[in-house]
Structure 1
Amino acid sequence: MKELKGNGEEFLNEVASISRTSHVNIVTLKGFCFEGSKRALIYELMPNGSLEKFIYKGSPSSSNYHLGWDTLYKIAIGIARGLEYLHRGCNSRILHFDIKPQNILLVENFCPKISDFGLAKICPREKSTISMVSARGTTGYIAPEVFCRSFGGISHKSNVYSYGMMILEMVGG
């Protein structure tokens, strides 16, 4: 990992979040290294990289491969299934807080896998809203209630907002 922040709390949070999951649309953590300043996550192989390179024309990581509407639809449904699992399928609800094309990895058949759980928050399933000290996420994908409490409480619906923003980017390219 290039950016080492703080005492490794974000890194350990990611390991804890991913290790609690087992779903076709969530990355599988094969192992990790946490020795001093050396930190690494080992995922299953993702030969197609991130969704980002398939939807942004002219980006440095862009490929010349264009995804058809059927494939984009299947990717969108897969991501939604992964989010539904994080919100309802796990013993503890996992709020991702960073759903964006860069954090959606694609296997060889373009099956999407949600990755990068560094900003995730684990909370009890029975709790509908959570409290946070500071905003989490990427500008443009952060739900309004995450950075301004007057819009309402922070919940799993914050991920749904980010998902919607990402779908708009998938359609608009």
Structure 2
Amino acid sequence: MLTMLQSPPQAIRRAGSYFLLGTLCILAMLIAGCSSGSSMSKLIASPNPPVADVPIPIGFHIDLSHSQSTYVPKTNLRMVNQEYKGSDPRLSVARFYEDNMPGAGWKTISLQGSQRIVLNFSKAGEICTITITHGWFHTHIYVVIAPMGATTTQPAP
């Protein structure tokens, strides 16, 4: 009967091995959970975007210190230069605009980039350029709307 009991150092080693194995399993599940599908999650449009015909993903907020808009009612001319910050990945945000801008009446002209994604759209004499970048703590969305043919500068990320 006494031969079946383990010595204390052997029991401690076995318990330590089980603890290490359990910790590694939990860590592996956390890593797998964080990376599975999060880079292309489906974003939802905010119900009240600052510019009615440019959808903004829920969770992104306008940075008023880096945004300005001008509208001339007599000519329906508008100039928009806005920055938004949020936490969703760049590729999910790019997919959001590819999916949602046509529903707001915009026609896709071009899409380019990987680290800095630039999407260009046109609508009724206007060009909308959406630039998506990743900063230290946020994903940045820059929205520029200008009359077609106007020379505009892209915001610096």
TM-score (norm 2): 0.25
Structure whose CA Rg is larger: 2
* Greater relative contact order structure (CA < 8 Å, 6+ sep): 1
Q: Between Structure 1 and Structure 2, which shows a larger proportion of strand residues? A: 2
TM-score (norm 1): 0.24
